[in-house]
Structure 1
């Protein structure tokens, strides 16, 4: 049998990666990364007000650059046997589009307007709108938030739409519909970007847009117009049905087949969010707790609907039938900052160096700093008197979303140095992880094992050992350093008809695991005490914010 290949496209916060995978063996035969040019320059963003926008040209250029780069140098036999492409992206990352599905920022009059661009997952400018959605939903006949943990987040679809319509009359007048990043890129590849006809992702719609079959799709017109008349009529210009990511979105357009140098019959899968496809790539099974550890974290769980489907799990980012694996309940949680927290502390140290000594000195320090701090912190003793911090440097995603919260620190003194602060930050992110695990268990969802993927999991033994100690659970790290792209390639293999199910694709294409961390009993006991301090600090911070 001739080998067939699929391409997984993984759109992260800073870059997009393409991975070419042999569907029979799981061998990664080609990969490339394209960094977003405009994002790299900090354009259209303002961290002081939590505004983070990405220009659609970064995504389109990244699509072409990453796929061509991954295919470069591969024999024609591989290129001509590419059968499918699937896309994963960050989310919720919606954009306003015109009636043909063109993002407004691709129109000349909106080319420099951040409100016509994709609103990145970590944009928190819609905190007030999220609170309005919660207040109305909790007093409506139907609580539309009940399948997303009972709290709607400013990181999500409706809050971002409402905020944008309120602050920008030009967008308000021109926006015909709104599209998630994972849906738009997939639709673009097929050549059909009509927002009324292309298939929408079950994953994106269920976790972020309040879609559920019980509601006959999206929240009712009455609810939306009560929220704000600006939303009137939009529901009919969005979607009723959603599709799981093992399904085909359609066939690649002639334009994109020619541009990428691949066959014209390549199937494009329905898109999904990066972490959900990452869980597939990590070979998730029922009651596995898969942690996608990067700039933030996403935590994935699946379970049979008949066992867990009756539960309404409080404070998470949604429970959606088929959002990860078809016919399984997909559950999502996570932290709004993980690697971003470490990067923040790195900037605190390196930016004065940049100002005083120049870019070269700052870059050299940046390359060495986190590994150095990790090595030194790993040698420090763990005591009940250690300093403690919360992990809410970018608000709290779960449990119980509240993006107005800030990080807090307790116990700093004149003897506190950079290494101790770094250790405190790493422990804070682990405590936030434990709060999520505890919530699932309290809500009746058992956790069988912990699997970690992502940059932090692969690069930082100190972080992973600390996490294992705080959770008091062993952790396996997936071998693939591109698990999200691998999961997308697995979904593409099913959408293209190579494998019958995702389970078959995982078995054939999985990479296994290459690291294991086990809790150290002496550290576990001390961390129990420190975690109690974290909880008290968190309550104090929340009550006095």
Structure 2
């Protein structure tokens, strides 16, 4: 009998469902559904760094993506699913009431952005993150030493405190805050009530300051010292955490009916997308897995002996078992990668988009089709032109901090800068500088790992950009001066979730056994060009100098 594993990957724009034959590793079929409210730009104010997602987007899309999957899958496949697992973006928390209901699902909060999920890219909590970092530095025990030493506005406690301060109605109604990944497992297993809620190791370790050495989370006094609004919250969080190979519970009758799956199908503890994507890439010590999308998330693992008592500075945490049991998971990343390219695309397309929108010569259907065609072709045209330019020809240096800096050394207050523009600077010249900037930002992460004694010998890339742009990937190989392997799977994060689902469903005794059969193969390898790498060595130093200048308040920095 066939045994299928179902992996569900919640990205920034959409949810992907992947059905995998757990016994052969064949990716049988997949389906994608875009969040309707998010697609309309609802509840987001980019100028204020506010990005919120409604829980109904997650719930409705879950039904649609799974039911749509059965229209593509072999007949009877749903009844042969042995396990389900999720991955999501993060840190993406939401406020829930004393019954475990997400506040935005209640009528009185249905249109309140503060009652919704605070998406990973929301940077409204910069001030709160700085306060948390300052408190940790003053404490007799630095509770950030396993999270890179700097708390980020992208993370749980900063976002929670910001919303509590900003919205008294949410503060009054909120009993607990839950990460999106943990919420999904709880919803499907009917364990959202705070008395039943259990949480995964990944989110708690990397974003909530959970660590076994201090018995869970920092003490309540630590949080009260930052702001009394946090009083008691840590005590309402479950102190025990679970790795993603463990079973959160069985699929409830309600959700079994909604999804067309057998009741009590095992549901695994969830994790962040990048961590599960790394599992699909056969993550191991010395290899950095880069999930390259709107932002990047960089994952590697270290043995207990290799990590010892080191506290790796400036990254997004080191957590025992956050990626695979038996290893310490190490996370870093960039706050913008594809988002930087999209920003430039929207910038250069603004006049045309507005002319089309206001044109009286075209009907609405034609306007929409033309606008979509222009949007679809812009980055392709820019890439083609930029790839033909000689390295360093334009003399432009750019930073990749258009959405702040995640690592090394989190600082969401820094801004992007472009230096060296002249009258002859064209759109392809600038675009090439932006591509190089994202590659430089990634190199800075690799260099930090090496400086801290973590070996990085090669890179495995997954995500849309790694499959779509030879120009971007070759630039990265040259700037990093190391080979890059690109995975075959189109849905690597969902595949990682399916690997965990197969373990949760009992097909395999552990993750390593499942990986041998189910992990993705490599479809392409990019090898650095020695001449290009030598030129980029000097240009990278210019990037570092510009970053130092901006960080010191020279241009858009923290003056």
TM bin, normalised by shorter chain, reads over 0.9
Separation in 2, partners of 1:366, 1:124: 26
Q: Deviations over 1:112-136 (max 9, x none)?
A: 0001000000000000000000011
Separation in 2, partners of 1:203, 1:503: 18
**Higher mean Cα deviation, 320-329 or 354-363?**
354-363
Tell me the CA shift for residue 198 of structure 1. Answer: 2.3
**1:34-113 alignment, distance < 5 Å:** 34-113=33-112
Say which of 472, 481, 495 aligns to 2:490.
Answer: 481
Answer whether contact 2:85 2:270 (CA < 8 A) is retained.
Answer: yes
| 1:518 aligned residue | 527
Q: For structure 1, which runs of at least 5 residues remain unmatched after alignment? A: none
TM-score, with length taken from structure 2 = 0.96
| 1:220 aligned residue | 219
**1:238-257 alignment, distance < 5 Å:** 238-257=237-256
**1:122-521 alignment, distance < 5 Å:** 122-358=121-357, 359-383=368-392, 386-521=395-530
Answer whether contact 2:251 2:263 (CA < 8 A) is retained.
Answer: yes
Aligned residues between the structures? 544
Separation in 2, partners of 1:57, 1:94: 15
TM-score, with length taken from structure 1 = 0.99
Answer whether contact 1:20 1:71 (CA < 8 A) is retained.
Answer: no
Separation in 1, partners of 2:19, 2:394: 50
Q: Deviations over 1:99-156 (max 9, x none)?
A: 1211000000000000100000000000000000001110001101100100000000
Q: Deviations over 1:397-445 (max 9, x none)?
A: 0000000011011110000000001000000000000100000000000
Separation in 2, partners of 1:432, 1:35: 29
Tell me the CA shift for residue 345 of structure 1. Answer: 0.4
Separation in 2, partners of 1:62, 1:158: 27
| 2:540 aligned residue | 531
Residue aligned with 2:409, SS:
coil
Separation in 1, partners of 2:348, 2:457: 40
Separation in 2, partners of 1:220, 1:324: 26
Tell me the CA shift for residue 76 of structure 1. Answer: 3.7
Residue aligned with 1:92, SS:
coil
Separation in 2, partners of 1:28, 1:245: 21
Answer whether contact 1:426 1:463 (CA < 8 A) is retained.
Answer: yes
Separation in 2, partners of 1:172, 1:80: 43
Separation in 1, partners of 2:531, 2:28: 44
Tell me the CA shift for residue 385 of structure 1. Answer: 6.2
Answer whether contact 1:15 1:35 (CA < 8 A) is retained.
Answer: yes
Tell me the CA shift for residue 533 of structure 1. Answer: 0.4
Answer whether contact 1:30 1:71 (CA < 8 A) is retained.
Answer: no
Answer whether contact 2:126 2:413 (CA < 8 A) is retained.
Answer: yes
Separation in 2, partners of 1:498, 1:265: 16
Separation in 1, partners of 2:306, 2:280: 24
Superposition CA RMSD, Å: 1.0
Separation in 1, partners of 2:76, 2:284: 34
Q: Structure 1 residues 73, 469: CA separation in 2 closer, same or farther (over 3 Å shift)? A: closer
Q: For structure 2, which runs of at least 5 residues remain unmatched after alignment? A: 358-367
Separation in 2, partners of 1:335, 1:73: 35
Residue aligned with 1:148, SS:
coil
| 2:113 aligned residue | 114
Answer whether contact 1:384 1:530 (CA < 8 A) is retained.
Answer: no
Tell me the CA shift for residue 29 of structure 1. Answer: 1.4
| 1:29 aligned residue | 28
Separation in 2, partners of 1:76, 1:363: 36
Tell me the CA shift for residue 371 of structure 1. Answer: 1.1
Answer whether contact 1:8 1:85 (CA < 8 A) is retained.
Answer: yes
Separation in 1, partners of 2:517, 2:76: 20
